[in-house]
A = this chain, B = another copy of it.
Amino acid sequence: MHHDGELTHPAVDDFDLVEVLQALGDPVRLQIVRILDAGAGAIACHEMGLPVSKSTGSHHLKVLREAGVVKGKIDGTRRYYTLRRTDLEARFPGLLDSVLHADAVATARNR
């Protein structure tokens, strides 16, 4: 069957700073963002190796998606996710980069 049920995503103008900061302010979700940043191309939920159950992982992806941080694409039974780099940069210049770089620094420091 064909279900053209595309996932819903907020428009760039509807991004909310508090919502984005809350979305990024969780260890698991920050890990997801880091994975999507490091990976080349779209990544499916089950390929991320998250330290939570699949339902929890799905929940976190939903939070990130509704905040505008990630974009989900349906492909069969899978959802491939990517970072909305350009959109985030347009709405909150420098924010994603600073978060990713800060996170990389922290990771290197605690190694």
A residues contacting B by CB (< 8 A) are: 13, 16-18, 21-22, 24-27, 30, 91-95, 97-99, 101-103, 105-106, 109
Contact = CB atoms under 8 A, between A and B. Distances in A.
A101 B59 CA distance: 30
Given A91-B102, A94-B94, 13 more contacts: A16-B106, A17-B30, A17-B103, A17-B106, A18-B25, A21-B21, A21-B30, A22-B25, A91-B105, A92-B98, A92-B102, A93-B98, A97-B98
A17 B30 CA distance: 10
Contact of A95 (B22, B30, B93, B99): B99
Q: Which 6 A-B pairs rank lowest in CB-CB distance, beginning with the nearest? A: A21-B25, A94-B98, A22-B25, A92-B102, A95-B98, A25-B25
Contacts of A27: 18
Contacts of A102: 17, 91-93, 95
A81 B105 CA distance: 28
Contacts of A98: 92-95, 97-98
